[in-house]
Amino acid sequence: MTISRIAARMHRIKPSPSSAAADRANELRRAGKSIINLVVGEPDFDTPAHIRQAACAAIESGETRYTLNSGTVALRNAVVAKLKRENGLSYPASQVVITTGAKAAIFNAFAATLNADDEVLIPAPYWVSYPDMVLACEGTPVTLPCPEEHQFKLTAAQLRDAITPRTRWLLLNSPSNPTGATYSAAEWRALADVLLDFPDVLVMTDDIYEHIRYDDQPITHLLTVEPSLRERVLIINGVSKTYAMTGWRIGFAAGPSDLIAAMAMLQSQSTSNACSVSQAAAVAALEGDQRFVGESVKVYRQRRDRSLELINAIDGLSCIKPDGAFYLYVNCGALLGKRTPEGQVLEADTDVVLYLLESQGVAVVAGSAYGLAPFFRMSTATAINILEDGCARIAAAVAALR
């Protein structure tokens, strides 16, 4: 008998569905097919010039060696200033750790805290990696379905009913990937009131889209609503989405001293410090000219509005207006049961997504990958003419169904 050299825990997880969809779209493009790729959640803007220039200056000045494991003093201080300025939250630099992207911060937090079968409450729809990161760390993801009629948001009653003695974490993402759902101060208040009754539950807030908002309301946070939760809340954020810096791989976490110390220790034995040059660029992003942020959000809003108009004009598709991020989470339930021109019955949102790709060359991601079907997610982080072409192709595909 051949003994597998792969650890048993690897059988608990699967490849990222969004990465798999992007790979398939690229494969078809290489084969010569015209593909509209609406899969990847990545700003299509170039990183602002002053940030790029800061990176070049760091290279020229020799900032190309190891930094402190938890991040440079300059970047941690910039994060401290950002949290105070934008969120009204005060942290010392010792309670901040810089990571290789926000994804690494989330993974390190789970790896540092989860024991076997500890539960992590994850509202669905969720970012595809959340459950698998929990599984990789031997925890148990507990999905809390948040239906469209609730604006894809977790209710206080739902949270209270879900907490058990094994609950270790509640993970909240606002604005949300994939729906753009954004919690208001009143909604944070309702969730906080439940959490006050369960002092052993930790809370992770994934704030990576906090600046990409369209509701014209001030940024709110669970901790600004209920400061007494401070010793139980881990803030996750980064520069990828706000400053069009996905490839620079800089995230950060701020939270209780013991948790940050554990995450930093784990990082010291895995990746070690984040890229020195990227850290210098991130300082410029956080401390420099912020006009790019507002200007890019105006463009994202135009793209959202145009895409929403076109999608909701297609008979059989519908989408509620997202308050943030750069995605539409499109309800395709009315298409199930219909037949393609080739005679195939669309039985699930995965069939719809495959049909759009194969028939019209439009790549999107099935809602089942995000824990709530039947939907598909389309990224609006691309030019309006591309979005218009993509929506026209989707309309043609739907019109051909019988």
pLDDT, tens digit, for every residue of 282-325? 999 999 999 999 999 999 999 999 999 999 999 999 999 999 99
- pLDDT at res. 28: 80
3-state secondary structure at position 3: coil
pTM: 0.95
In this model, does residue 18 exceed pLDDT 90?
no
Using left for φ > 0, alpha for ψ between -120 and 50, and beta otherwise, residue 151 falls in left
Q: Give all strands of the β-sheet with 365-366 in edge-to-edge order.
A: 327-331, 375-379, 365-366
DSSP annotation of 345:
B
pLDDT, tens digit, for every residue of 52-85? 999 999 999 999 999 999 999 999 999 999 999 9
Domains, the chain, in order of start with CATH, read 9-40+292-399 (3.90.1150.10), 49-287 (3.40.640.10)
Which tokens hold the place of 310?
A: 């076109």
Chain-wide mean pLDDT for the chain? 96
- pLDDT at res. 224: 96
Alpha-carbon separation of residue 263 from 59, 167, 259 (angstroms): 28, 20, 6
Q: What is the mean pLDDT of residues 187-199?
A: 98
Task: Spell out the alpha helix ranges (H) of 226-290.
Answer: 257-268, 276-287
Q: How far apart are CA 159 and CA 154, in angstroms?
A: 7
- pLDDT at res. 97: 98
Strand-pair category, 167-173 with 140-145 = unpaired
- pLDDT at res. 29: 79
pLDDT, tens digit, for every residue of 216-252? 888 899 999 999 999 999 999 999 999 999 999 999 9
- pLDDT at res. 275: 98
